[in-house]
A and B are shown apart, each in its own frame.
Chain A
Amino acid sequence: MKTTAVNPKVAQRILIAAQLLALLQLVLALNFLLNTTGGTLFLFASFGPLLVLAAIALMVGVGIYKYRQSHHLFDMETYSPGEVIVRQEEAGVCAYFIQDGQVEVVRNEQGKDQVIATLGKDEYFGEMALLSNAPRNATVRALKETRVAALGKENFVRLLAVMPATKESVLQTVQARAKEVAAGQ
């Protein structure tokens, strides 16, 4: 199963690690500058460039990954029964269009899971987080073998911009779903 969404916490930790590596390199440079000996020179001249390269590689890697995430263009993905497609409280990266199968939308309120909707072929989910920039407000889990087409945030927003009728339809759906969520609370 190919998944579009990397765990945002992993990306966050990688970026923190990259910044710490860069900080360490600067500390080595400062150490060499204030106390120039063979040891400090060796550490700065040999490990310094490696730390910088590693930090840049991590940062670029996360950047490329995030760019590719937000620019998915109907990548087809298949989920087995019980697999989670989107998780509540995670950042929204893609909208999903169900090609085949069935999913359930589950919301966790005060530790209790509540199924608020079941979606099937030709329906879609995950659009609310893309439009509001808020975290996912529910978990979506496959009930059967489900095939979805993932559309990245950038392409989703662009699609709505060039197709006003689609935008209108999506906004109506978003409003209806928001009312359902509010009613469930």
Chain B
Amino acid sequence: MARFLTYPTIAWFFLQTAGFAEEDARVKAFHTDPVDVWGQRFLIATICLGIAILLFNLFKNRGTTGGPASWALLAAGVALVPLMATGIGTLLVFERAEHVQFCESCHITMQSFVNDMRDPKSESLAAVHFKNKFIPDDQCYDCHTSYGMFGTVEAKMAGMEDVYKYFTRTWSNPISMREPYPNHDCLKCHAESALWLKHDEHIAARDDLFADKMKCLDCHGADHPAHPESVRKVVAAR
């Protein structure tokens, strides 16, 4: 009777899980990331396979090993499939950590910044960029990651540190950046664009800006306050 109920229950669980994943993919069909979609599918399949093998092995062999076949099943369930899940999952970790929703999930520390960005009345740099929609997706990640492969790696490592501090409640207030916002993270998009060249101040200070001697935020400050009031204060002070 237990076996009669166990296998259909497990099958139902897998179908529900796969159904949720597919539904999630359909909802975001307007702009899907194929890496995310296919990574998700492979990971679901790997997890289902791993759980099936482990449960089958646990119920059938109960921790005993009879011969090569039982060892092969054990190795598949304990080593091979979990390692595959770790590999594919790490890929998805890198993908999904770029989304704004992910940044927002740290509600206590980051929610107010995301709210400011999405606020149509806010004139902070983040909000202005968001309204313009020149960065269509992953706005947090696009501005807070430097160019090139190591920019991504650096951002991810710093992100993990932030996640760790969040869940151990060891962050310090006020929340601020580790180092001043580098010019090249502005210039990677703005450098010598038509709109940038239109302003003589940029031409005059071009060498200093490119050498990071003069900061973009010296003039364009109040980039991303938690509360819009601080924007008005900074502008009023100038």
Contact = CB atoms under 8 A, between A and B. Distances in A.
Interface of A: 8, 11-16, 18-23, 25-26, 29-30, 32-34, 36-39, 41-42, 44-46, 48-49, 51-52, 55-56, 59, 63, 66
A11 to B, nearest CB: 8
A41 B78 contact: no
Given A22-B50, A26-B50, A56 B89 contact: no
Given A29-B85, A36-B102, A41 B97 contact: yes
B235 to A, nearest CB: 32
A33 B92 contact: yes
A16 B63 contact: yes
6 contacts: A16-B58, A29-B89, A32-B89, A33-B92, A48-B85, A59-B78
Given A15-B65, A45-B160, 11 more contacts: A21-B78, A23-B55, A34-B21, A36-B96, A36-B102, A38-B163, A42-B164, A48-B86, A51-B82, A59-B78, A63-B71
Contacts of A49: 86
Given A37-B105, A41-B163, A42-B167, A26 B82 contact: yes
B230 interface: no
Size class of the B contact interface (CB-based, 8 Å) = 35 or more
A23 B51 contact: yes
Given A19-B58, A44-B89, A33 B51 contact: no
B153 to A, nearest CB: 14
A56 B79 contact: yes
B89 A55 contact: no
Nearest to B95: A36
B9 interface: no
B74 A59 contact: yes
A107 B77 CA distance: 39
Nearest to B40: A33
A45 to B, nearest CB: 5
Interface in B17-68: 17, 20-21, 40, 43-44, 47, 50-51, 54-55, 57-58, 62-65
B166 interface: yes
Contacts of A11: 63
Contacts of A29: 43, 47, 85-86, 89
Nearest to B85: A29
Given A18-B78, A38-B102, A12 B54 contact: no
A42 B162 CA distance: 10
A15 B78 CA distance: 9
Interface of B: 17, 20-21, 40, 43-44, 47, 50-51, 54-55, 57-58, 62-65, 71, 74-75, 77-79, 81-83, 85-86, 89-90, 92-93, 96-97, 99, 101-102, 105-106, 160, 163-164, 166-167
Interface of B is mostly: helix
A48 B64 contact: no
Nearest to A45: B93
A39 B167 contact: yes
B50 A33 contact: no
The 10 closest A-B pairs by CB, nearest first: A37-B105, A12-B63, A16-B63, A15-B63, A52-B82, A22-B78, A42-B163, A36-B96, A38-B163, A26-B50
B167 A38 contact: yes
Contacts of B64: 8, 12, 15
A8 B57 CA distance: 17
A88 to B, nearest CB: 18
A34 to B, nearest CB: 6
Contacts of B54: 19, 22-23, 26
Contact of A19 (B74, B83, B163): B74
A21 B79 CA distance: 11
Contacts of A23: 50-51, 54-55
A36 B100 CA distance: 11
